[in-house]
Structure 1
Amino acid sequence: METFWITAMAVLWGAGTGLLIPRAAYRLSVQPEEPWRAACPAGHPFAGAGNGWLGRARCADCASYGPSMPVLAAGTAAVCAVLAAATGARPELVVWLLIAPVGVLLAIVDYTAHRLPDVLTLPLAAAALVLLGIAALLPDAGGSWTSALLGSLILGASAFVLFLISNRFGFGDVKLALVLGAVLGWYGWTLILIGAFVGYLLFALYGIALILRGRVGRTATIPLGPFLLAGALAGVLLGSNAP
């Protein structure tokens, strides 16, 4: 019964935060040399909490814009639900639920604009380590802050090497690796390897599928971030259920 109520609350959290993702995704989905969008497609300036960053992607004077709000609300709710069901009443669940909506936002922005903004990745890496440090001090914590810290550093360093030797690896992916290394490292070194492997495998399968369907050429650029995030989710679910 406890797990049911925890999962139910996670669904509500995911649905509520998911409704706020489309506006932020629309504002952030620009090329690196361009400023963040300051108005809706009809030219109405953004208003509301957080200097216009928080709010639904719909103006009073025009239609909705950006990614579909119902789809993102349902998707974020589903991610939060599976995290809650797998993790249970352990303190790191709070960390996962705080990170999850930002992860969904990053995936959408990277998929749309092939960009992982510093304004999200770097603060998220710091926040993940701080929050996991707090979680490690609480009873029933299911992981290790030390391995989370080392995981962040090692996965970030590995990603940096790939950035130097491969033109398919962006510097935004390096900064995202700092976050994912902390999250996966919380549950140990094995989960870092599994999460990274799943992410790259999904990326490769997606690229092959697009090539076979004639959607892209062999030299096309495909965003890696969404697949790394999916791999991290798989790793967290496995780590949460580990004995």
Structure 2
Amino acid sequence: MTGVPLGIAAAVLWGAVAGALLPRAACRFAVPAGEGWRDRCPEGHALRGWLGPARCGECAGKGAADAELPDPCAGKGTAAAESSDACVDEGAAAAAESSDACAPPYPAGPSDTPGPSVGTLPYTPSAPLLAAVTALLCAALTAATGTRPELAVWLLLAPVGVLLAVVDFRVQRLPDPLTLPLAPVALALLGLAALLPEHAGHWLTALYGAVALGAGYFVLFLVNPSGMGFGDVKLAVGMGAVLGWYGWSVVLLGAFAGFLLGAVYGGALVVVRRAGRRTTIPFGPFLLSGALAGLLIGACAA
């Protein structure tokens, strides 16, 4: 375990870099149900790529070019001071006309309230916050797993989990391009880890866990479609694969933790009167959090 501190430092660096690249994908995926993924900014410019800051490059470039243009009102104050012998009424009228010509095309806000930066998209999650959360998550996974080969799988999947949680919290939607390949990718990577020495899990149990947890959530979806989205079912398949790597007890623990965290969050909203008993809440973040709790405990016990 002598390499664990160095591994934690490397995991923090990986998590910070990966998390800082998530805002653009979060912005593009965070659209209401039934709409296609965001591919244009409010000005109609095409959005390209999925990684990086949540900004429109064309809008930002246009704003920078506009900032370099000369101010048409510059120097008018000096000219007015030099013509102090002009008629007061004419000076007042000219000043009012000049003020109208130079006024911005929007109402001025408080001086201490900054406006949105040029090129900012409708939803711009904080890059430093996502970087910090992902780095902390990767550090915890590294500390629990040690130098075992499955750690590489957890570190690759961690940014995807953060992105899914952010999008679901924003629009209560779990994107298919992320949830559908999650289980096959996790099982493929865990299959490679199972070929390496010193691994601490079982690939077949991961496969069975994916089927079992996905089936369980599918039954809940059939029983109460308004309380369980089908995106949660697809996400549960991937989380079952991850939890199943460390055994059935970890699958049960992770599933229970997810429901417990969701219930606590919903109950807290009801207590502070920010939600009613029938208010729907995004369950994906709690499914992911429960899986993380089970994964950390399973890795420590392995």
Shorter-normalised TM-score: what interval? over 0.9
CA deviations over 1:1-57 (Å, ceiling 9, x no partner): 41011111111111111011111011001123211111234544323xxxx112222
2:231 corresponds to: 172
Deviations 1:117-144 (A, max 9, x none): 1111011111001001111111001100
**Which is further off, 146-155 or 118-127?**
118-127
Q: Does 1:22 align with 2:81?
A: no
Instruction: Write the deviation string for residues 167-198 of structure 1: whole angstroms up to 9, x where unpaired.
Output: 21110000001000000000000001110111
Q: Which has the larger radius of gyration?
A: 2
Name the counterpart of 1:236.
Answer: 295
What is the match of residue 87 of structure 1?
A: 145
For residues 83-232 of structure 1, what are the structure 2 equivalents within 5 Å? 83-166=141-224, 167-232=226-291
Which amino acid in structure 2 is aligned with residue 57 of structure 1? A
Query: CA-to-partner distance for each residue in 1:79-113, whole Å, 9 max, x for gaps?
Result: 00100111111110000001100000001111111
Q: Would the aligned equivalents of 1:151 and 1:192 in 2 still touch at CA under 8 Å? A: yes
1:35 partner SS: coil
Q: CA RMSD in A?
A: 1.2
Distance 1:186 1:22 in 2: 30
Cα distance in 2 for residues equivalent to 1:63 and 1:220: 34
> What residue in structure 2 maps to residue 36 of structure 1?
37
Structure-to-structure mapping, 1:1-80, within 5 angstroms: 1-47=2-48, 52-60=49-57, 61=60, 62=118, 64-65=120-121, 66-80=124-138
- Structure 2: gaps (5+ residues): 61-117
Larger mean Cα displacement after TM superposition, 35-44 or 65-74: 35-44
Tell me if the contact between 1:13 and 1:77 (Cα under 8 Å) persists in the aligned partners: yes
Report the TM-score, using the length of structure 2 for normalisation.
Answer: 0.77
Structure 1 unmatched runs, 5+: none
**Could you tell me the percent identity over the aligned residues?**
60
- Report the 3-state secondary structure (helix = DSSP H, G, I; strand = E; otherwise coil) of the residue aligned with 1:218: coil
Post-superposition offset of 1:236: 0.7
CA distance in 1, matches of 2:55, 2:128: 12
